Amino acid sequence: MKITIIGGGPGGLYFALLTKKQWPDWAVTVYERNAPDSTFGFGVVFSDETLGFLDDYDNPSYEAIRRSFAYWDDVDVHYQGHVLKAAGNGFCGCSRLTLLQILQQRCRELGVTMHFHTEVEGVEAFADSDLIVAADGLNSRIRENHRDWFQPQVDERRNYFCWLGSSREFDAFKYFFQETEYGVVVAHCYQYEPNRSTWVMEMAPEAWEGLGFGDMSEDEHIRVLEEIFDEELDGHPLIANRSIWRRFPMIRNRRWVKDNIVLLGDAQHTAHFSIGSGTKLAMESAIALFESVKTTGDVPAALEDFEASRRTEVEITQHAADVSLAWFENIDRHWGMDPEPFAFALMSRAKKLTYENLELRDSAFVERCNRWFVARERERGFDVADGTPPMFTPFTLRELTLANRVVVSPMAQYMAEDGLPDDWHLVHLGSRAVGGAGLVYTEMTCVSPDARITPGCTGLWNTAQRDAFKRIVDFVHSQSEAAICMQLGHSGRKGSTQLGWDHMDHPLPEGNWPIYSASPIPYFEGESQVPIEMSRADMDRVRDDFVRSTRLAEEAGFDMVELHMAHGYLLASFISPLTNRRSDEYGGAIENRIRYPLEVFRAMRDVWPNHKPMAVRISATDWKAGGLTDADRAALARMFKAAGVDLIDVSAGQTVPDQQPIYGRMFQTPFADHVRNEVGIPTMAVGNITTPDQVNTILMAERADLVALARPHLSDPYFTLHAGAWYQHEGQQWHRAYGAGRAQAYRNADKDREELTDLRVRTRPRTHEVLGEGEQAGYARERSAS
């Protein structure tokens, strides 16, 4: 077989050596535009896990690589005069040039043909090649020649950055944060060989422009950066190597393969430097491509297998990189934090590192953060015991103090008749209150018969419904420490539809009722009812329906009321530009689109007792182009804060059926973070939050104040009680009838956690550090859980 590789970066070279090693009689040729000793940048970073992969696939190059690396376990966060250390991270740095030279030498040993100083404009000259690997970088000419086929998407991110070096040595990965009059400048720093370290400088456009970098030469901007980081450089200079300012291009391709051409490395995908994954991603993709070739033995089948098997892993890494870079893009949002939550938020920003994972790596770091959290709660007047995890601390909204930060999210049950909650709802809500959550939400309860989503939705428009809810409220108050919140809403254009387990969001087969919306746009074009565009008279009627239901909620004894303005329902249809095309005072700018929802909220607030809190649920994004923007979200939050809202329940999407959400763990939490830390109002995070570990991660990082979980509470009504046992938290109250179960749960959980911790320690990637002559590093040092 004849293989042509265009691009002599780490990904291309590694694929070349793997294939030549496996099939020595194959003709494998690499074409590289630069000289063999020419490279952009300074160091590259690998984790112990990645080095393990390299050892598995080619030990000689692995040995050469690991013996050229500088190792560190610690990450040091230098923030406003404080240094917080998080240990146990297992990373290493190497000169990019050294890495390339090692891979080039290994290719020579195996018989790979390499041509340097060779510019390749297209693939026409390689018509006799069986496989062409386009590893020709960010600006891949091969990809661009076939742009219509590969369909690359280039998302040029907001912040400016440049790569620099220094002669200063480090014993840890360093994050240096410096505040200038124009904004924060961040230096991402690590050592990659003796007397050499990488310094990646990053800042927002406002800081970059204010400091004048756009008009400076390389030498001039280096002098300015040396002044900013004078103390951190400790007398060492910054070193340039084509250190130009750029904005990071996040590259994705709809297709990776065309005929016998396959994209690899940066031509195929990029990942932001803040998670150190560019070179790692390229080399791991080279391994995956090699495996596909080896497994199938046929080029078309191999390329099909490669794209199918590798794409998910790449997209997961890119999503983590997206979340990470967004944290740095919004650094001003977190700048006022105390050192502990700032450092914790930094370490957990990409969602891979969590409260328990960080505790396993460095218990001292998490203990310091926990001490800060407990001390802050004591300053607020709460009697919180030492070592209490964040999820078990109280939280106050007006005169309502919740026992803990765990919330049972509103979940439609579709079990009511004529809007009347029954024994099902008593058991559903009552069992979850007994299960230990600090706050329990009803499902979205509709303010009139024509406000229902389905015939099975609960309602609160008459006294019979009020009394049925009062029975539930009384049970919750008498048998648990939980508070209970009534969520009120109107379905709008998504009403008169089938039950959730039938054909959700689709019209009833018969017996449909009229539906209303901001504009006459059906949910499903050609299938859903066309909603009636609300007149002023309709608005008055619906506003008064909400007021009536609010009064009934107070009579039923609810502790809190939430107004549902999310998920494409009636009030959400006013807020989103995708569903509001009005030309009157209720359409157009966000201030107009918010006008009617604000009117409804104020009318409810006027009749709801002043000592009781009110919340609103919002969709932070529509997950579709042309929908809600970040600026819309902030403006909405500020207006409702001014109107007296106490908590914003931050959900997302479900506005239109063709939304394109980006799912993942805690995927909506960044929106709660945005609202909380930019607008300055308590928020509740919701969305694929599944474990107590994630709850504590969100709270410790100050990304939200409460955390709502839906599906975990469906499968485990006693989620919070079990979490208390898991953390051995003695302050978690169990119902007196369940006392015997408490003792057993705590014993079993203590044993289970000890066994799981031991398993995690044993399965951590081995270290690859060279410990001494003749030693087999990587097998010699056993990591401790602490």
Stated length of the chain? 786
The rounded distance, in Å, linking the Cα atoms of 686 and 323 is: 17
Structure confidence by residue, pLDDT tens digits, 348-378: 999 889 999 999 999 999 999 999 999 999 9
Average pLDDT, the chain: 94
Is residue 414 part of the annotated active site? The answer reads no
Higher-confidence residue of 212 and 765: namely: 212
Main-chain dihedrals φ then ψ at residue 13, nearest 5 degrees: -65, -40
Residue-level pLDDT at 362: 95
Residues 6+ away with beta carbon under 8 Å from 629: none
Burial of 499 (0-12, 13-18, 19+ CB in 10 A): middle
In order, the DSSP letters of 458-495 are -B-SSHHHHHHHHHHHHHHHHH-S-EEEEEEE--GGG-
The rounded distance, in Å, linking the Cα atoms of 300 and 297 is: 9
Query: Are the beta carbons of 366 and 390 closer than 8 angstroms?
Result: no
Residue-level pLDDT at 771: 60
Task: Quickly tell me which residue has 């506005």 as its tokens.
Answer: 655
Query: Residue 784 above 80 pLDDT?
Result: no
- Reading the block at residue 713, the tokens are 């509470």
- Reading the block at residue 291, the tokens are 């495996």
Structure confidence by residue, pLDDT tens digits, 31-87: 999 999 887 668 888 888 888 889 999 999 999 988 888 888 899 999 999 999 999
Structure confidence by residue, pLDDT tens digits, 720-748: 999 999 999 999 889 999 999 999 999 99
Structure confidence by residue, pLDDT tens digits, 615-663: 999 999 999 999 999 999 999 999 999 999 999 999 999 999 999 998 8
Residues 6+ away with beta carbon under 8 Å from 191: 43, 70, 72, 93, 169, 170, 171, 197, 198
Nearest alpha-carbon partner for 51 in 762, 764, 768, 763: 768
Structure confidence by residue, pLDDT tens digits, 220-238: 999 999 999 999 999 999 9
Lowest-pLDDT range of 53-62, 294-303, 749-758, 777-786:
777-786
Query: Are the beta carbons of 658 and 622 closer than 8 angstroms?
Result: no
Q: Which H, E and C letters describe 9-59, residue by residue?
A: CHHHHHHHHHHHHHCCCCEEEEECCCCCCCCCCCEEEEEHHHHHHHHHHCH
Residues 6+ away with beta carbon under 8 Å from 241: 40, 41, 42, 163, 164, 165
Amino acid identity for residue 676 in this structure: R
The rounded distance, in Å, linking the Cα atoms of 527 and 288 is: 44
Main-chain dihedrals φ then ψ at residue 440, nearest 5 degrees: -120, 130
- Reading the block at residue 195, the tokens are 């007397």
Query: Are the beta carbons of 130 and 299 closer than 8 angstroms?
Result: yes
Query: Are the beta carbons of 406 and 707 closer than 8 angstroms?
Result: yes
Residue-level pLDDT at 761: 78
Is the Cα dihedral 368, 373, 379, 382 positive or negative? negative
The rounded distance, in Å, linking the Cα atoms of 336 and 184 is: 12
Residue-level pLDDT at 51: 86
Return the H-helix or E-strand segment holding 262: strand 261-263
**Residue 31 to residues 56, 104, 144, 590, 599: CA-CA distances in angstroms?**
26, 12, 18, 54, 66
Query: Residue 315 above 70 pLDDT?
Result: yes
Q: Which H, E and C letters describe 495-547, residue by residue?
A: CCEECCCCCECCECCCCCCCCEECCCCCCCCCCCCCCEECCHHHHHHHHHHHH
Query: Residue 125 above 70 pLDDT?
Result: yes
Query: Residue 119 above 90 pLDDT?
Result: yes
Residue-level pLDDT at 781: 36
Residues 6+ away with beta carbon under 8 Å from 763: none
- Reading the block at residue 619, the tokens are 């969709």
In order, the DSSP letters of 330-389 are THHHHTTS-HHHHHHHHHTTTSSS-HHHHHHH-HHHHHHHHHHHHHHHHHTT----TT--
Q: Residue 276: pLDDT band by 50, 70, 90 thresholds?
A: confident
Name the 3-class secondary structure at 172. coil
Return the H-helix or E-strand segment holding 592: helix 590-593
Residues 6+ away with beta carbon under 8 Å from 630: 674
Structure confidence by residue, pLDDT tens digits, 148-193: 999 999 999 999 999 999 999 999 999 999 999 999 999 999 998 8
Q: Residue 785: pLDDT band by 50, 70, 90 thresholds?
A: very low
The rounded distance, in Å, linking the Cα atoms of 254 and 679 is: 37
Q: State what percent of residues in the chain have pLDDT above 70.
A: 96
The 8-class DSSP code of residue 725 comes to H
Main-chain dihedrals φ then ψ at residue 669, nearest 5 degrees: -60, -40
Residue-level pLDDT at 777: 40
Q: Which of 31, 62, 175, 569 is catalytic?
A: 569
Amino acid identity for residue 429 in this structure: L
Residues 6+ away with beta carbon under 8 Å from 40: 96, 163, 241, 242
Nearest alpha-carbon partner for 304 in 252, 254, 259: 259
The rounded distance, in Å, linking the Cα atoms of 383 and 371 is: 13
Residue-level pLDDT at 49: 82
Q: Residue 494: pLDDT band by 50, 70, 90 thresholds?
A: very high
Nearest alpha-carbon partner for 662 in 155, 109, 303: 155
**Residue 227 to residues 176, 206, 240, 535: CA-CA distances in angstroms?**
14, 19, 16, 62
Number of other CB atoms surrounding residue 156 within 10 Å: 10
Structure confidence by residue, pLDDT tens digits, 674-730: 999 999 999 999 999 999 999 999 999 999 999 999 999 999 999 999 999 999 999
The rounded distance, in Å, linking the Cα atoms of 501 and 515 is: 21
The rounded distance, in Å, linking the Cα atoms of 445 and 462 is: 12
Structure confidence by residue, pLDDT tens digits, 376-428: 999 999 999 999 999 999 999 999 999 999 999 999 999 999 999 999 999 99
Name the 3-class secondary structure at 63. helix
In order, the DSSP letters of 99-159 are HHHHHHHHHHHHT-EEE-S-----SGGGTT-SEEEE---TT-HHHHHTHHHH-EEEEEEEE
The whole-number average pLDDT for the span 125-147 is: 96
